[in-house]
Amino acid sequence: MPQNTLPQNPLPQKNAHLLDDILLILTMAVLAGCGLIYEYLLSHYAGRVLGVMESTIYTMIGLMIVSMGLGAFAARKVSCAFNGFVWLELIIALVGSSAILIIGGLIAITQIFPQLIADMLSLPPDMKPQGGLFKQLSWLAFKSPYFFGVILGFFIGMEIPLIARIRESIHKQHLANNLGTIYGADYVGAGVGAAIWVIFLLSIDISKAAAITASLNLIAGAFFILRYWQHLNWRKTFVALHCGLALIIVLMFSYGNQWLNQMNSLLYLDKVVHTDKTRYQQLTFTERHMGLDQNNIINFYLNGRLQFSSIDEHIYHDYLVAPVMAGSARHENILIIGGGDGLALRDVLKYNPKNVTLIDLDSELIDIFKQPKDLVNPRLASQILQLNKESLQDERVTIIPADAFIAINQLLKNRQVFDAIIVDLPDPSHPDLNKLYSVNFYARLKLLLSGDGLIAIQSTSPYHAKDSFISIGKTLAAAKFAHVEQYHDNVPSFGEWGWTIASKRGASPLTRLNKLTKLPVAHPWINLAILKAAFIFPNDFYQNKENIGINILGSHTIYQLHQKAWQDQQNLN
């Protein structure tokens, strides 16, 4: 008679499977968050490198999603899901942590390579090789973010199929809702990753953000090795590679930003004396030594684009400030939109206003120009304060660090009225800036302007971005200003530059200037005669005006016109 045997207790095995499920689902959620952050990292950096922010971001995300699909198809070729998953996380961590630095290095090398060749061959500056092979190498370097996006997307796409196979291998059966569970973890993890990017990673150095994200891939791989040690081949190799890659990631976290800044410094003609990343943009100061008897030249860049040069910024600011202040009936209460460097404010204060309100989005930028001694080296701090005459510290100035598109609503609610308004914003090179060049924004500024006041707007280049320049004038007219006029002159650092000025009611700006015998306040560069001449354009300048669009909120007309002009200029070089 056979012996009775007690049925085996399934609880330990069930608990073990539960632990495996929790580990794998949490791992999937973490990796999904990492994958989304890599998309944002590369999109964000590529947008800054290529300049065409909106289309670059969408292209990068699209390429990575397609590559993830290809990776999911390719996962079936991995014979052992356990070994494949460990290799996968090692590759993603390595590429993810180093991609930004490699891209920066490639761009820097291709930019300095022609100069190295010219120096070796003792060629004069105007014969530096720039076309042919050199142009193609530079083009490839600037497109390299897309290459790394495809590589990362391909390997990230393999994660879900491999984890699905690993779960079924552990359970030794087909799991009815296996993919649903894993995709659920993937979606939730991606959402958490997006929140972490916006709240935390966006405000730190991009190399540190990449290192932190890569470390999570490495940690996920390490936990996987510990849990599934018996399922793995090459165990010692995996452990050694994890240790080595951990050291690399620590180095990336500690020195990556320094290395990236050094490579970025090679892209500038002059010595980089300070660089910083705020929540919104990359700030860079360069210095050019001019000799013992001359002041050094300070250049200031936002995201690699020149904002001012100390040698000729007075020309730009003379044209921005003098016409609007000279043509306005009073100067008691002035509004400046942008201008966080304090240079336009410096010139406005010459008119002895009672109050000036300055609205600029980037509080960190304002701090650098307001209290530079605490944030930059003493030499640069002294030069900054010498340039803006410590205007941001003036007790008559109220600084509002906020998005002007929203902040002016509070001014309207408070029924504030300004005698003159000056809009000193960067060019509309980003979709977020486009709204500040819209009919909606200008119409609300019109409500803030006194009846006999004027508004002046920096309006990009009438030569390099002609359609964008004209569109700004048409958009201001669409906001129902009584008279809209434009003027231009050469600013050596920028080339031909333009501004737009408008009156709410009464005489046109130029009519008001024509009534003056001289400017009420002396400016370093312009006088009344030069200023009035700046309103004259070539006969055919506005011949295509009817075909140029108005920038209605959401249309992105000015942004698209500006980007097209920028791309056309790039293709000419």
Closest CA to 325 of 164, 521, 470: 521
Give the bridge partners for 305, in sequence order: 302
Cβ 313 vs Cβ 324: under 8 Å: no
Q: Is 521 exposed, middle or buried (0-12, 13-18, 19+ CB in 10 A)?
A: middle
| CATH 3.40.50.150 placement within the chain | 313-572
d(CA 191, CA 145) in angstroms, rounded, equals: 24
Per-residue burial over 109-122, b if 16 or more Cβ lie within 10 Å, else e, is ebbebbeeebeeee
Q: What is the dihedral of CA 360, 366, 367, 372, to 10 degrees?
A: 180
Strands of the 271-277 sheet, one edge to the other:
271-277, 282-288, 297-302, 305-309
Per-residue burial over 364-393, b if 16 or more Cβ lie within 10 Å, else e, is bbbbbbbbbeebbeeebbebbbebbbbbbe
d(CA 108, CA 105) in angstroms, rounded, equals: 5
Q: Is 424 a catalytic residue?
A: yes
All residues at 6 or more sequence positions from 414 whose CB lies less than 8 Å from its CB, including other chains: none
CATH code of the domain occupying 14-265: 1.20.1250
Q: What is the DSSP letter of 2?
A: P
Task: Please tell me which residue in 424, 427, 467, 489 is annotated as part of the active site.
Answer: 424
Q: At the topology level of CATH, where does 313-572 sit?
A: Rossmann fold (3.40.50)
All residues at 6 or more sequence positions from 538 whose CB lies less than 8 Å from its CB, including other chains: none
One digit per residue, pLDDT tens: the chain, 573 residues? 444 444 455 555 556 578 888 889 999 999 999 999 999 999 888 877 766 666 788 889 999 999 999 999 999 999 999 999 999 999 999 999 999 999 988 888 887 777 777 667 666 665 666 667 777 887 888 889 999 999 999 999 999 999 999 988 888 878 778 888 888 999 999 999 999 998 988 888 889 999 999 999 999 999 999 999 999 999 999 999 999 999 999 999 999 888 887 787 777 778 889 988 888 888 999 998 776 566 789 999 988 888 999 999 999 999 999 999 999 999 999 999 999 999 999 999 999 999 999 999 999 999 999 999 989 999 999 999 999 999 999 999 999 999 999 999 999 999 999 999 999 999 988 788 899 999 999 999 999 999 999 999 999 999 999 999 999 999 999 999 999 999 999 999 999 999 999 999 999 999 999 999 999 998 889 999 999 999 999 999 999 999 999 999 888 899 889 888 877 766 544
All residues at 6 or more sequence positions from 396 whose CB lies less than 8 Å from its CB, including other chains: 349, 353, 354, 355, 356
Q: What is the 3-state secondary structure (H, E, C) of 531-557?
A: HHHCCCCCCCCCCCHHHCCCCCCCCCH
| CATH 1.20.1250 placement within the chain | 14-265
All residues at 6 or more sequence positions from 504 whose CB lies less than 8 Å from its CB, including other chains: 446, 449, 450, 451, 452, 453, 454, 455, 481, 482
